[in-house]
Amino acid sequence: MMFIAGTETTANTLEWAMALLLNHPKVMLKVKAEIDEHVGHGRLLNDSDTVKLPYLGCVITETLRLYPPAPLLLPHLSSEACTAGGFDIPQGTMLVVNAWTMHRDPKLWEEPDEFKPERFLGGFGEREGFKYFPFGTGRRVCPGAGMGLQIVSLALAALIQCFEWDTIGPVEDMSHGCGITLFKVKPLEALCSPRRDLITLLSHL
Ligand code: HEM
């Protein structure tokens, strides 16, 4: 279960994040500048560096808002009768929460369909958690959230630290398909070449 729940979600997030960055070169440059400033070119970044990269964190948070890997979370069953949003829910009802819709609700977000990592600079208030939940919430919240975020941060940061990236066509196609997870219809294809400043380091790996 841990393996199934932890692999596709993490890989999809990385793919969506890179696709978004390719379509937003100014954001890509900002992430690169942050990595260059806090890690540099003399060594490969490691997991203790990710805390020094708040803008990268905003990019991943914003990616998970626009493309939550589990857009309907997992189905929940009411263990007792309750009320939710004014609706009476009998015991034993299957509840599905549509995170995708809430993450793009214009009543909750400014320019909801735009990729704007800056919206998360300065943190995220506790109450706001109710409009943003790529990992679910409550008792059945994703137990791998911390690990998932760390893997995506580390992988994305390493790809940007070491390589120059470009789209193959004019823009990356962002069409999505949805099963249990939200996937990219056209798998990401991109051009990459080693960054000049990293060639010596990479050649010694
Ligand atoms: C970016 C990465 C990930 C995302 C977006 C994600 C998202 C989610 C979501 C939305 C749920 C359902 C929560 C709910 O219905 O309230 C879930 C459950 C779960 N996730 Fe993740 N997940 C990620 C990574 C991981 C990783 C790395 C692991 C394990 C190593 C993991 C293990 C699980 C397990 C075991 C459950 C079921 C929990 C339960 O039913 O009590 N996930 N995840």
Looking at residue 200, its pLDDT comes to 87
Mean pLDDT estimate for the chain: 93
Looking at residue 11, its pLDDT comes to 96
| Residue identifier of the C-alpha nearest atom 40 of ligand 1 | 140
Q: Model ipTM?
A: 0.98
For residue 198, what pLDDT band results from cuts at 50, 70 and 90?
confident
Instruction: Provide residues with CB under 6 Å of ligand 1.
Output: 1-2, 5-6, 9-10, 13, 69-70, 73-74, 134-136, 140-144, 147-148, 152
Tens of pLDDT, residue by residue over 31-82, are 999 999 999 999 999 999 999 999 999 999 999 999 999 999 999 999 999 9
Length of the chain: 205
Centre of ligand 1 to C-alpha 195, Å, is 34
Helix (H) or strand (E) holding 95: strand 94-95
User: Which residue do the tokens 């905003």 mark?
Assistant: 58
Q: Which residues have CB under 8 Å from 6's CB, separation 6+?
A: 144, 147, 148
Overall pTM surpassing 0.90 (yes/no): yes
Looking at residue 128, its pLDDT comes to 66
